[in-house]
């Protein structure tokens, strides 16, 4: 198979040495089936072992290898080199996150938000496993199934200008997951999650830019989840005002 040469410009930043990040250019021979992550692996193995980046599965499942490729948040494992043929490919760390080294960003903030929305099924009273599983119909599954595809790659945060302005914003992925559990017929944790998603920096910060849903590599629509959560919150508020016992 014939080989082309890709020119890749990667952000380098070693906090112990560099005051500022800078670009380093590499030439990488590639085949038609190679992705940006393959090029980074080639650089690390053959040219410069100090290049630092995260990756794991190489197949769009683990969500570790996100970066800004030519300015757009993408998974490096899902971006083919041939798509950039004839131009220099710029690979930068994801925007809006603190950079630890080169392409590696600090995920702490997102991890804390993820825990905050309690991404697991909450039951008022757990039943012992012997009593069997909590059953669900296909129709009930359909209500939330797309939102359960999130791989926590954080590309939606890198694409969200609201998060760029205010990092306290709960953000797309965390809300999509919160909504996934709120809509799950087996879940009874609405009262626990509602205060989190409806606090000042929760869903109401979102102004429907919609780029989160554009960049999601798994076809999740976080913008939709955020707006649905707004609708649920608003109808709940009206119910609690008008109905006896808060409409429960």
Closer CB to other proteins, residue 28 or residue 51?
Answer: 51
First-residue to last-residue Cα distance in the chain: 66
Closer CB to other proteins, residue 150 or residue 226?
Answer: 226
* Shortest Å, Cβ 194 to other proteins: 19
**224 lies in the site for other proteins, by CB under 8 A:** yes
Stretch that binds other proteins, among 79-87, 146-154, 196-204, 208-216 (CB under 8 A): 208-216
Q: Is 87 exposed, middle or buried (0-12, 13-18, 19+ CB in 10 A)?
A: exposed
Question: Which of left, alpha, beta for 208 (phi over 0: left; psi -120 to 50: alpha)?
Answer: left
* Shortest Å, Cβ 33 to other proteins: 27
* Shortest Å, Cβ 129 to other proteins: 35
Residues 226 and 213 sit within 8 Å (Cβ to Cβ):
no
Closer CB to other proteins, residue 93 or residue 189?
Answer: 93
Stretch that binds other proteins, among 32-40, 78-86, 113-121, 160-168 (CB under 8 A): 160-168
As beta bridge partners, residue 75 has 66
Q: How many CB atoms lie within 10 A of CB 203?
A: 24
As beta bridge partners, residue 80 has 35
Residues 51 and 44 sit within 8 Å (Cβ to Cβ):
yes
Stretch that binds other proteins, among 39-47, 119-127, 159-167, 186-194 (CB under 8 A): 159-167
Six token digits for residue 198: 């409806």
Give me the residues that bind other proteins (CB under 8 A), please: 13, 15-16, 21, 71-72, 92-93, 95-100, 106, 108, 161, 164-165, 207-211, 214, 224, 227-228, 231
């Amino acid at each position: 198979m014939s080989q082309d040469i890709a020119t890749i410009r990667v952000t380098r930043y070693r906090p112990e040495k560099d005051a500022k990040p800078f670009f380093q250019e590499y030439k990488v021979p590639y085949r038609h089936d190679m992705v940006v992550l393959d090029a980074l692996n080639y650089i690390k193995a053959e040219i410069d072992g100090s290049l630092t980046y995260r990756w794991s599965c190489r197949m769009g499942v683990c969500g570790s290898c996100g970066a800004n490729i030519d300015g757009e948040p993408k998974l490096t494992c899902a971006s083919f080199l041939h798509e950039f043929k004839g131009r220099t490919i710029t690979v930068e760390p994801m925007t809006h996150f603190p950079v630890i080294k080169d392409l590696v960003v600090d995920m702490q903030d997102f991890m804390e938000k993820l825990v905050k929305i309690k991404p697991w099924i909450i039951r008022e009273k757990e039943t012992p496993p012997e009593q069997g599983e909590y059953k669900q119909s296909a129709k009930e599954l359909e209500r939330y199934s797309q939102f359960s595809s999130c791989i926590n790659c954080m590309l939606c945060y890198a694409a969200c200008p609201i998060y760029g302005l205010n990092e306290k914003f709960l953000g797309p992925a965390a809300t999509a997951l919160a909504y996934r559990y709120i809509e799950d017929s087996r879940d009874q944790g609405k009262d626990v999650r509602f205060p989190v998603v409806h606090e000042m920096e929760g869903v109401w910060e979102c102004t429907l830019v919609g780029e989160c849903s554009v960049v999601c590599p798994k076809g999740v629509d976080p913008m939709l989840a955020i707006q649905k959560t707004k609708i649920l919150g608003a109808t709940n508020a009206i119910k609690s005002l008008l109905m006896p016992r808060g409409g429960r």
